[in-house]
Amino acid sequence: MSVKIRIPSPLRGFTNGADIVETEGANIGEVLNDLKAKANGIEPRLFKGPNQLNRFVNIYLNDEDIRFLKNLETPVKSGDEVSIVPAIAGG
């Protein structure tokens, strides 16, 4: 199953500048694992421990924050889009 992951600019150094990376997997955790394999060095930027995202990393499946879904266990299907979004200040 092919899932697109949108890469924000602070992380494009790990993807040769690409803003989208095609990944495979059945849930968010799996596609992020695939991203780790495809973007060498990105892992510690996203994860602080096994299956534990850094505090300021927000992951969206299509338009929904995965914390409103099943976090890393959230299932994905072909054609879904995953975004990695840094937190921003209030307004």
Partner 1 sequence: MSYVLGLKCKECGHRVPVSPVHVCEQCFGPYEVEYDYAAMKGKVTRESIASGPKSLWRYRDLLPVDVPVTGFNSGFTPFRKAKRLAQVLGCSNLWIKDDSCNYPTYSYKERVVSVAISKAVEFGFDTVGCASTGNLANSTAAHAAAAGIKCYVMIPHDLEQGKVLGSLIFGPTMVRIRGNYDDVNRLCTEIADKYGWAIVNVNLRPYYTEGAKTHGFEIAEQFGWKLPQHTVVPTAGGTILPKIYKAYQEFIQLGLVEDNKPKIYSAQAAGCNPVVTAIQKGVDIIEPQKPNTIAKSIAIGNPADGYYAYKVVKDSNGWGESASDREIVDAIKLLAKTEGIWTEPAGGTTLAAAIKLIQSGRIPKDESICVCITGNGLKTLEAVQNDLPQPRVIEAKLSEFDELLAENEAAEKKASARAEPVGAL
Which residues make up the interface to partner 1 (CB under 8 A)? Answer: 6, 8-11, 13, 19, 44-46, 48, 54-58, 60, 63, 65, 67-68, 83, 85-91
Query: Minimum distance from CB of 46 to partner 1 (Å)?
Result: 8
Nearest Cα residue to 62 out of 17, 11, 15, 6: 6
Tokens of 7: 């890469």
Q: In terms of CB distance, is 22 or 65 closer to partner 1?
A: 65
Query: Minimum distance from CB of 10 to partner 1 (Å)?
Result: 5
3-state secondary structure of 65: strand
